[in-house]
Amino acid sequence: MGGYLQIETIAKFKQPLVWTFHDMWGFTGGCHYTFECDRYKNNCGSCLQLNSSQDKDISRWIWKRKIRSWQKLNLTIVSPSKWLAQCARQSSLFQNYRIEVIPNGIDLKRYKPIDRSLAREWLNLPQDKQLILFGAAFTNQKRKGIHLLYSALEK
Residue 107 located in a structural domain: no
Owning domain of residue 129: 116-154
Provide the mean pLDDT of the chain: 92
Which pLDDT tens digit goes with each residue over 93-120?
999 999 999 999 999 999 999 999 999 9
Half-sphere CA count of 13, side-chain side, radius 13 A: 14
Alpha-carbon span 88 to 69, nearest angstrom: 17
User: Within this chain, do residues 33 and 58 fall inside the same structural domain, yes or no?
Assistant: yes
Per the structure, how many domains does the chain have?
A: 2
pTM check: above 0.75: yes
User: Within this chain, do residues 26 and 72 fall inside the same structural domain, yes or no?
Assistant: yes
Residue 144 located in a structural domain: yes
Which residue type does 53 have? Answer: S
User: Within this chain, do residues 70 and 96 fall inside the same structural domain, yes or no?
Assistant: yes
Residue 108 located in a structural domain: no
Residue 122 located in a structural domain: yes
Mean pLDDT (whole number) for 53-64 = 96
Which residue type does 116 have? Answer: R
Contact of 46 with 81, CB cutoff 8 Å = no
Q: State residue 76's pLDDT score.
A: 97
User: Within this chain, do residues 96 and 55 fall inside the same structural domain, yes or no?
Assistant: yes
Which pLDDT tens digit goes with each residue over 29-54?
999 999 989 999 999 999 999 999 99
